[in-house]
Amino acid sequence: MATLGIISAVVITSSLLLLRANDLDLAIATTTQNLRSAQLRSRGSDGDAQWGVFVGNGAITLFRGASFAARNSAYDETTDLASTITPSGLTEINFAKNTGLPISSGVVTLTHAVIGKKQLFINSLGLVDELTSGPTTFTSGRDATLVQSSPTTNFGTATQLEEYPRNNGYNKRASLWFNLSTIPSNAQIINATVQLYETQTYGVSRTVAVHRITQSWNETSVTWNTLSSGFATTPTASTTLVWDGSLSWDQWNVTADVAAMVAGSQPNYGWLIKDNQEDLSEAYWYFSSREGAHPPQLIVDYVVP
């Protein structure tokens, strides 16, 4: 009897998991179907109007109008969404009349309380695909501090990356690189962020930027002199770092750079980290290098068509 009880419990548990997985699969399929229907109706100017989809808690609504808030609810077509599923990300998708192009592109995320999440990517042309890859976390393959006062010395093996505005020949910057070769060249990059973990700081608030590096470099030989001007002068991204009393992760959005690197329109030489204003403040921020306890990360969300 005990054995039969155990077997029954296992069967019941497995069945519940299958039902939950089915709920998530059904939600993805229903959302996709509604998105394609809204796009077709917008393209055909059905009702002389544009159409959209709103993915909310408990329901997916195909609606007529420029927005869910301003819609004519008499034309709503609603499909139930399991209560165990929480939508996030791009939850309202509107398509332009006549062209059927999405007003905005992005990712619809449906998260099941037990199973996990699945995502749909709507690109700028209105193509709808389930994410088949990503997000992927890359750890830096090369990094080093560049010290202006020691312009020919290499600091590629240190456990910290130092960003230090001291001016008058004493500035410090950092360089880092990630191997992106595992991302297919036809991948569509949805989001990419460089993340650095603070190890030490002095100062209340500073704006620190990442710049795309424009020349090749090696961790064991790079110096201030060899990389003093080999980067794009316009920052890819700037983040204002504020000391809140605890060491934490900081991040910079590098989506456009990663997309260009993966597609091959820009070489992948990584990024340079420097203060937006290398002044006399001496308000420095140090981060863990790949030799440290919290190596730099590049987190990339992407989909392969």
**Element (DSSP H or E) covering residue 35:** helix 2-43
CB 188 within 8 A of CB 125: no
Percent residues over pLDDT 70 in the chain: 92
Q: What is the pLDDT of residue 123?
A: 82
Average pLDDT, the chain: 90
Query: What pairs with residue 274 in β-bridges?
Result: 209
Question: What is the DSSP-derived secondary structure letter of residue 271?
Answer: E
Confidence at 106, pLDDT banded by 50, 70, 90? confident
Query: What pairs with residue 95 in β-bridges?
Result: 102
pLDDT digits (tens, 9 = 90+) for 221-258: 999 999 989 999 999 999 999 999 999 999 999 999 99
Mean pLDDT lowest for which of 12-16, 25-29, 144-148, 246-250? 12-16
Residue 45 has pLDDT above 90, yes or no: yes
Percent residues over pLDDT 90 in the chain: 74
Confidence at 203, pLDDT banded by 50, 70, 90? confident
Residue 2 has pLDDT above 50, yes or no: no
Confidence at 107, pLDDT banded by 50, 70, 90? confident
**Element (DSSP H or E) covering residue 226:** helix 224-227
Q: Which domains does the chain have, with CATH numbers?
A: 2-130 (3.55.40.10), 136-303 (2.60.120)
Mean pLDDT of 5-27: 57
Burial of residue 66 (number of CB atoms within 10 Å: 0-12, 13-18, 19+): middle
Residue 11 has pLDDT above 50, yes or no: no
Cα separation, 301 vs 108, whole angstroms: 13
Cα separation, 194 vs 175, whole angstroms: 12
Q: What is the pLDDT of residue 5?
A: 45
Find all residues with CB under 8 Å of 283, minimum gap 6, and list them.
165, 202, 203, 204, 205, 206, 275
pLDDT digits (tens, 9 = 90+) for 124-174: 888 887 776 667 899 999 999 999 999 999 999 999 999 999 888 999 999
Confidence at 12, pLDDT banded by 50, 70, 90? very low
Closest CA to 87 of 119, 114, 115: 119
Residue 20 has pLDDT above 70, yes or no: no
Q: What is the pLDDT of residue 119?
A: 85
pLDDT digits (tens, 9 = 90+) for 51-101: 999 999 999 999 999 999 999 999 999 999 999 999 999 999 999 999 999
Query: What pairs with residue 52 in β-bridges?
Result: 63, 94
Residue 7 has pLDDT above 80, yes or no: no
230/119: higher pLDDT: 230
Question: What is the DSSP-derived secondary structure letter of residue 3?
Answer: H
Q: What is the pLDDT of residue 114?
A: 85
Residue 8 has pLDDT above 80, yes or no: no
Q: What is the pLDDT of residue 282?
A: 87
Q: What is the pLDDT of residue 42?
A: 96
Q: What number of H helices and E strands is found in the chain? A: 3, 19
Cα separation, 237 vs 249, whole angstroms: 16
